[in-house]
Chains A and B, each alone.
Chain A
Amino acid sequence: MEESKLKFLWDAIWNSWYFQDVLVAALLIFLVWMGRRLSRQPYWRLAIREVRQRRIAVAAFYVLCVYGLIALMDSVGWHPALRGEDGEVLRDTKNRVLHDRGGITVLDALLTPLREAREKTYSAPLAKILFSTETAVLPDGAMAQIHPPLQYPRRHLMGTDKVGNDVFYQSLKAIRTGMILGIFTTALAIPFAIFFGVVAGYFGGWIDDLIQYIYTVLASIPDVLLIAAFMMIFGRGLPQLCIIMGITSWTGLCRVLRGETLKQREMEYVQSAEAMGAPALRILRRHIVPNVLHIVLITVVLGFSGRVLSEAALTYIGIGVGAETYSWGRMINQALRELARDPAIWWNLAAAFVFMLGLVLPANIFGDALRDALDPRLRTQ
């Protein structure tokens, strides 16, 4: 009994937007703090300056910022009071105000004209009429098959889907899922990867053997299969996908960090710190971790696009996010069933692919620029 109460409480907290708002705020504060700290160091300032010299990378960065802003607006939400048909606030038997349990986000509020503009079924981009025909009575009394006019003509920039929802709105909502998968999965993995990678590389011996063994075992299971097994067992959903993708990206990052630490350990600055009697943990924290941090950033940025792309493929296979999460994979999956129609319904598919390309292409361009700027081996050339 106690356990189910706890679970109920947990669900209530987890599903509350206010809780997520606090998390988002904490994350933002952390990112700003980290950014300010790094931008004060000469190495990172040099890197930033180098990236800024490439105009295309700067442009890519701004596109990523727009995507990030939309995702951010979609991650901050609240639970508005429920209103009846006359607009009066609904109350329960104890006269408490009832709140919408699903909640709405800032993005939802901004896009209300799109969100609430529901048609009956498919309509082409910017169409005035419905895609399918209906039997109607003409003014002269004859019966005919016509395309009925839309309730909101010329409003759907990218058409509507099977149940009449705006495709543009769905594509915008899917940005949050893509960004979470792209960034959050590695963010989950980073602390573990840094800790285990650096510790394994620095201490060596049986610690190294053990950590190496663990990540080799995990890495030897191909990603798709590990994700398939995990998603079958824990069910489909965004949190599950984040965790398992975090595990798969953990192994690679951990191996790279271990190798880099092995190199750094032999450097003079570490030896001099050791000679001065600095404790091992302090050497790791103050000397080694800052010197492998650029690898972490490169891995995060370069892995980003791969994860966004794989979401769509995984959802198609049936091991991606569930049906209740907005995602480009879900849109593609639904649209594929309708492609066989004649004339084909292409706008769902096109919207999802265009939005995906709009995120992945800048991410690739920016990632390349960042790697060139941060990788000292390339810089010397």
Chain B
Amino acid sequence: MLTYIIRRICYAAPILVGVNLVTFLLFFKVNTPDNMARTILGDKRVSREQIEIWKREHGYHLPPMFNMREKAFAKFTQTIFWQKNLPLFFFDFGKSDQDGTSISRKIRDRIGPSLFITLPMFAIGLVVDLFLAMIIAFYRGTYIDLYALIVCVLLMSISSLFYIVGGQFLLAKYLHLFPISGFDTGLAGTKFVVLPILIGFIAGLGGSIRYDRTIFLEEINKDYVRTARAKGLGEGTVLFKHALKNALIPILTSVVVTIPFLIMGNLLLEAFFGIPGLGGYLIEAIQKQDFAVVRAMVYLGSVLYIAGLILVDISYTLVDPRIRLG
């Protein structure tokens, strides 16, 4: 098992190198440090000297890939690529372009609030979606199934902004059931996060129920289910004991890939409810044109995505005995 995991991580390494190169190309080649300086200094008539000073202050004055003025190995180390892009591999994200704060520390501080929203949302969503999908699959072919599907499609067709705006307006502003926005740590924060969790859960409901339902239906048409029915087992036993366990394999693995991503938080919910998580951090960075932060987030995001893929492979081998570690 351990060797398998190590091998999977080794497979991921070239992809991370690729992501690193993409961020380098986007942030330092397409968008040169000169451009960056001009955007951040904000003035169209900013002078050449000001740009040079800004670049020197932030370490962008070095040549991108090769420094011909240096000797030997310093040819490679005294470059933007070495100084700014390679440290991403070691999760050293450097400093923000705008206020000079350490990005790594900010990220560490903001993971907590993000998880405070996304973890409960994920857990509640998973259980409720599965439960509802099972019930709908139980009544397949009837009007209950038809109406449930219509509701699901309707739920899917509504913009997530509508859920957020509507929920915030109706439940918080109009009915005063929840605070409109804000955040607090520990138990005191509970009252702030209930509404975002609820809204996020409802926004994702339609799509996941429909997905789970199709998987259940696929499972129901298989031979072992027919055998179980032929043995004389009731429809409930067949569905909830036999089909559920097998349907869980594709559902769980489709869900596992998103687990590392919970760290990144939910962009819209954090923006609307003023939650100081990673999603909010990204939006702030976009609004302030903070290239260093966005670069760090791009890299972090792809690391988490790849981690999710590795988790999927591992979970497959854990839940499905037919799949061997290969």
* Residue positions of A touching B, CB distance < 8 A: 213-214, 216-218, 220-222, 224-226, 228-230, 232-234, 305, 309, 312-313, 316-319, 332, 336, 339, 344, 349, 353, 356-357, 360-361, 363-365, 368, 381
Q: Which of B14, B154, B169, B291 contacts A232 (CB 8 A)?
A: B291
For the complex, what is the distance from the CA of A357 to the CA of B163, rounded to whole Å? 13
Q: Is B144 an interface residue (CB 8 A)?
A: no
Q: How far is the CB of B58 from chain A (nearest CB, A)?
A: 16
- With an 8 A cutoff between CB atoms, is B312 at the interface? no
Among A213, A344, A364, find the residue whose CB has the most chain B CB atoms closer than 10 A.
A364
Distance (Å) between the CB of A304 and the closest chain B CB? 11
Q: Total interface residues on B, using CB and 8 Å? A: 42
Pair B268/A361 contact, Cβ less than 8 Å: no
Q: Is the CB of B156 within 8 A of A364?
A: yes
User: Main secondary structure on chain A at its contact with chain B?
Assistant: helix
- The answer to whether B68 has its CB under 8 Å from any CB of chain A is no
Give the total number of A-B pairs whose CB atoms are below 8 A apart: 111
> Shortest distance in angstroms between B251's beta carbon and chain A's nearest beta carbon?
19
The closest CB in chain A to the CB of B17 belongs to A217
Q: Verify if B233 is at the interface (C-beta below 8 Å from A).
A: no
Contact across chains for B153 and A361 when beta carbons are under 8 A apart: yes
Q: Identify B15's interface contact among A216, A225, A228, A344, CB under 8 A.
A: A216
Q: Which residues of B contact A (CB under 8 A)?
A: 14-15, 18-19, 22-23, 26-27, 30-31, 153-154, 156-162, 165, 169, 221, 261, 264, 267-268, 271, 282-283, 286-287, 289, 291, 294-295, 297-298, 301-302, 304-306
Known: A225-B298, A233-B26, A332-B165. 4 other contacts (CB 8 A): A213-B14, A232-B31, A317-B283, A332-B159
Q: Which of A218, A225, A309, A336 has the most CB of B within 10 A?
A: A225
Check A360/B301 contact, CB under 8 A, given A225-B282, A339-B165.
Answer: no
Q: How far is the CA of A225 from the CA of B264 in the complex (A)?
A: 11
Residue of B nearest to A233 (CB): B31
CA distance A319 to B289 in the complex (A): 11
Pair A222/B159 contact, Cβ less than 8 Å: no
Docked-complex contact A353 and B159, CB < 8 angstroms: yes
For B282, list chain A residues within 8 Å (CB). 224-225, 228
Selected from B22, B31, B157, the residue in CB contact (under 8 A) with A218 is: B22
Q: Are A339 and B153 in contact (CB under 8 A)?
A: no
Query: B27 to chain A: which residues have CB within 8 Å?
Result: 229, 233
Instruction: Report yes or no: A313 in contact with B160, Cβ–Cβ below 8 A.
Output: yes
Question: A309 to B159, Cβ gap below 8 A?
Answer: yes
Output the least CB separation between B299 and chain A (Å): 9
Whether B302 lies near A222 (C-beta < 8 A) is: yes
Residues of A within 8 A of B298 (CB): 221, 225-226, 228-229
Task: Assess whether A221 is in contact with B286, with CB atoms less than 8 Å apart.
Answer: no
Which of B157, B261, B271, B287 is packed against the most chain A CB atoms within 10 Å?
Answer: B157
B302 touches A361 (CB 8 A): no
Interface pair A357/B153, CB less than 8 Å apart: no
Given contacts A317-B286, A364-B156, contact A339 B305 (CB under 8 A): no
